[in-house]
Structure formats: C-alpha cells, structure tokens
Amino acid sequence: MFKRLSQGIAKTRASLVSGIKSLTGGNQGLNDEDKEALETSLLLADCGVSATTALIEATNTRLKKDGGTVIDAVKQEVSTLLGDAEEPLDIPASNGKPFIILVVGVNGAGKTTSIAKMGKNLQSQGLKVMFAAGDTFRAAAVEQLKLWGERLDIPVVAQQTGADPASVIFDACAAATSRNFDVLIADTAGRLQTQTNLMSELEKIKRVIGKHDSSAPHETMLIIDSTMGQNALSQAELFDKLIKIDSLVVTKLDGTSKGGIVIALAKQLSRPIRYIGVGEGPDDLQNFRADAFAQALFDGNEI
C-alpha cells in the first residue's frame, strides 16, 4: 500500500523536493534565501498561502530547537499539520438502520469510481453495502454504477434517467433498511458549487434522507479532484458553506504535481480526509494516513 502511495504522488514529490533538498538548515534556522526557496516549493505544490506560512514558521522553530536538515524538519511539520485530518471512516454497529453516506462533488471529480472503491473497501471489512444511483442526469453514471455493482456483487437501487434523485435515494434508504444492509452509499450528479439550483437540490436530498432517519445522512462526503489545485480548495469551502461537508476524499493524486492541495485542505477546511486516490485500480483508494503521506511526499521510502 505504501509503495502504491509513493508511486502515486511521485509527481508532487519530484516538484516539491527538488526545490528544498539542497537547503542545509542547522541550528541557525532558515535564512531569508532558504525561506524564499521553501515558500516557492510549497506554493508550486499547491500547499496554499496559509499552510505555507505556517509550515515555514514551524520549520524554522524546529530547526533552531533540534537542528537537522530542512527537508526532515518540513516533513515532520507536514506530518503534524496533516495529523488533525487523519480520521478513518468508522461505521458504527448497526441499530437496524444503514449508515448513509451522501457523496457530492463537481463534474469529473471521480465520485462514481470513488463510491465503487469505497464500497469494495467496506465490503472487505465484512459490511453489507448498497449503492444508490442518485446521478439521474447522466444515463452513463447510472450504468457505470450498475456495472461496478455487478463486479463487486453490491446491489444498486436505480431508476430511469431524469428521475427525481431524492426519490431514488429515499427508495434506496427503504430498501437498505428492509434488507438489513450496514451501509448505503448514495451517488449524486456532479455540480459546480456556483449552480444555485443544483446545490438546492442537494439540500432537498438531505432533507428527504432525514425523513427516513432523522440522524442521516450520517456522512456528507465531498470528492475533490486534486488536479484542480487551489480551485479545489475554493470548491470545498463553498460546498461546506452551502450544505455542510463532513469529510473529504482527494482523488487523482497520481496525475498531478499539485498534491500539496491535501495540505491546504487539512489546514484550511478542518475536515477529516477519509481517503486519497493514488491510481486507477480498485485498491488505489487508500485510507489517509498523515505520517505515511508525509513520508511518501518527501522521500518515498517506507517508514
């Protein structure tokens, strides 16, 4: 798993490490040139201004206290910063109703594929999983989820293209309850955070799910495309403002040098990062681990 993680974020590592590996550090801390070089490297990796400023200050303090190399000090500070976002998805014991996960995000972020991979992950833990094909705007989305369901032997509740997504998901809630499923993962249509009518539809879906179970959805999970860089952060902030996000999944880290967006999200959104996507395979959606991510990000060698 670590090898796949290391390979998956190789582009970000190459970009980030090249700018700071020559910085010497030591007990004197960072001089102005070192600070500028570190700032440039972190910003180019899309760590964002807030996280970059915090990391430079923390790295400088660590060096003055403990000495060592800049790259090791930054790695430790990144691990510490990311630690607050490390909180694996925990499905509580069933009380006769399924744990309902509502998956949201913009077009092309990888929602449907992430749902399939997450379903496989939960299934491997011995949980009974069901999918709801709530993306009724695209026939391809429904068919894609059905195909994944067949491959994984996970039932999919779906209706025809154009059906009311809230109705589809409500029916899935009833089916999952009556058949004693542990987890229901509901797909939704991709939408831009600026599309007011579609964001309102998500609010309606949440209300309808709440009629089935007043405590649900138990998790509203936002899928973030890491290749969007800082745009992904603005998306996350607006989704959270409009419909309240509980957690994040960061996808496509294998296709970008902007993997520092994980650091920016952890610093500014203060939401758990449940999973990260580091490849195309069904096992390439990994539980987010702060130490492992920092280790892979800076030197690629297993802890």
pLDDT value of residue 281: 80
Distance from C-alpha of 250 to C-alpha of 61, rounded to nearest angstrom? 30
Going from N- to C-terminal start, the domains of the chain cover: 2-83, 99-295
Instruction: Pick the more confident residue, 22 or 10.
Output: 10
Q: State yes or no: pLDDT of 58 exceeds 80.
A: yes
List pLDDT tens digits, range 233-244: 999 998 998 899
Yes or no: is domain 2-83 CATH 1.20.120.140? yes
- The tens digit of pLDDT for each residue in 144-193 reads 999 999 999 999 999 988 899 999 999 999 999 999 999 999 999 887 65
Mean pLDDT of 220-249: 93
| Structure confidence at residue 195 (pLDDT) | 65
Residue 289 above 60 pLDDT?
yes
How many whole angstroms separate alpha carbon 201 and alpha carbon 224?
19
Strand 273-277 with 285-287, pairing = antiparallel
Assigned fold of 99-295: Rossmann fold (3.40.50)
pLDDT of residue 193: 56
Average pLDDT for 86-93: 94
Place of tokens 């998790």: 219
Listed residue (247, 161, 177, 162) closest to 211, CA to CA: 177
Question: Strand 156-157 to strand 247-251: parallel, antiparallel, or no bridges (unpaired)?
Answer: unpaired
Cα separation of 157 and 102, whole Å? 14
What's this model's pTM, rounded to 2 decimal places? 0.94
Strand order in the sheet with 219-225: 156-157, 129-132, 183-186, 99-105, 219-225, 247-251, 273-277, 285-287
Q: Which residue has the higher pLDDT, 303 or 99?
A: 99
**Digit-coded pLDDT (tens) for 186-200:** 999 887 656 677 788
- 28: pLDDT confidence band, cut at 50, 70 and 90? confident
One fold for both 2-83 and 99-295? no
